[in-house]
Copies of this chain bind each other. A is one copy, B any other.
Amino acid sequence: MAATLCVRLLRDPARNFIRAYRHYRIKDISANNCKPGDKVNVKGWVKSVRKMKGNLFVDVNDGSDANNFQLVVNKEKQFDTAYGSSIEAFGVLVASPKNQLELHVDNLNEIGKCPLAEGFPFYPKKSYPPEYVRNHLHLRSRVSSMCSTFRLRHEATRAFNEYLVQGGFVQIHTPVLTSNDCEGAGEAFLVKPSNEQLLKSMVKDGVPLEHGYFDRATFLTVSGQLHLEAMSHGLDKVYTFGPTFRAENCKSNIHLSEFYMLELEEAFMDSLEELADRVEDLVKQVSKCLLERSATDLSIVRKLTTDDPLEKAFEWMEKPFPRMNYDEAIRILKANQSKLKSSVSVEEGINKEQELFLVEHCQSPVFICYWPKEIKSFYMRENKQNARLVDALDLLVPHVGELVGGSVREDSYDTLLLKIPTTDALQWYLDLRKFGSVTTAGFGLGFERYLSWLLNVHNIKDVIPFPRWAHNCVM
């Protein structure tokens, strides 16, 4: 069959014309893989069209690069196109007066027109508020700044993975479906087959119909931590990066029903200082990598909300993050109670307003360490110097507040047995401390919050391709 196809192509004179031009993506042209005089074919979507002295100047983009690429169509050619259309162009590369490569077009095919009047939501040379763009999820990839955002999300994912691979971590695909609901505190989603007939055919005696598929209530994960701990007791350094879920009725700009978390766990790590070092190094290295690889995309997205130059915005990367005890944080907040709307108390923890105040106070991302055990989870280790506290930390950053939460985990079987919320569903978790127990430590980092902070995007719904939140699950 391949042979037949080949013969057909050779007999087709139009195809022979085409084959004189080599296809390049715009990124590869601008990365100087090409030189003036090259016969080149580009494909993409039209971002703008200008007519000057009868010549057509077409900006085109194929999603591979932050910058558009310019086509010049001589007025003697009869080609025409318009904003939004998909096109294929053939021509010769020429250095522009500004010494940028542009394509002098020999041939231009419009592949698909874009009839704006029939309901295309984006018009040329107009900018739209994020809420409007978000109402057209399926066409957000036609908006240049959204393409920049999605490329940045991709590069950040890649940088996290690379950092962790270099550090000897093994990526574990922790499950989305879980029968644990210990951390959810009633904020989990329940799952059942949509097919009622199937359920009826599967349900066993004594099991409620809606739990018939798995013989038990089954939830969407709120965290992969406990599963990671199981893997860490044998593989040592492990991480997971994937979707987690919360069923909250929340309209805030830092919450989603489906969001991504980077979680990691290290065995044989038994100090909170070491854990803070790990978090700080990870956040700085990944951010440096983004700044090096994706400066243009970063500038494009940040320019929508701020005039701060990149160097100024990333000054924090060069300085150590302050590390503050929880008690000290409360002391600072109490001393500044008059500047806060919310009232400060040691028992209540630290709310969003107070988090942002502490970040502003320190003029830096800041760790809050050693929290009162009453307001933290059962699996956190009691501090050896002060039994009122646990070895837990939060990392607070500008713009979003809590970015990371982590702790050294309780490794004593007897202590854990006293604190664990259920010994039925979590007997397996106790087993980890019964057979070859080690101290492990780990944390979770909210990926959309990280991007929101770095990109200065005010709503995390705009750094995820398909945001889901209360009353919203389009497509």
Cβ–Cβ < 8 Å partners of A465 in chain B: 172-175, 227, 231
Would you list 27 pairs from A and B whose C-beta atoms are within 8 A, ordered by A residue?
Answer: A2-B273, A43-B267, A43-B438, A45-B436, A62-B267, A64-B236, A84-B436, A112-B438, A118-B435, A119-B431, A139-B233, A140-B234, A141-B230, A142-B233, A151-B235, A157-B171, A158-B165, A175-B465, A176-B220, A189-B193, A191-B220, A194-B217, A214-B470, A216-B473, A227-B465, A242-B243, A243-B243
Selected from B27, B138, B174, the residue in CB contact (under 8 A) with A466 is B174
Q: What CA separation (Å) do A46 and B139 show in the bound complex? A: 56
Stretch at the interface among A180-188, A281-289, A371-379: A180-188
A357 within 8 A of B: no
Contact of A63 with B235 at beta-carbon distance under 8 Å, contacts A243-B176, A268-B43, A473-B214 already known: yes
Q: Do residues B195 and A471 form an inter-chain contact, with CB atoms below 8 A?
A: no
Cα separation A464 to B177 with both chains bound (whole Å):
13
**Is A201 in the interface zone, CB < 8 Å from B?**
yes
Q: Is the Cβ of A325 less than 8 Å from the Cβ of B1?
A: yes
Interface residues of A (CB under 8 A from B): 1-2, 5, 25, 27-28, 43-46, 62-64, 84-86, 88, 111-115, 118-120, 137-143, 147, 150-151, 153-154, 157-158, 161, 165, 168, 170-181, 184, 186-195, 198, 201-202, 204, 213-220, 226-227, 230-237, 242-243, 245, 247-249, 257-258, 260, 267-268, 271, 273, 323, 325, 369, 411, 428-429, 431-439, 464-466, 468, 470-475
Extra pairs beyond A175-B465, A428-B474 (17, CB < 8 Å): A63-B236, A84-B435, A85-B436, A111-B439, A139-B233, A143-B234, A154-B170, A173-B243, A177-B257, A177-B473, A179-B475, A187-B193, A188-B194, A189-B193, A190-B192, A194-B247, A214-B468
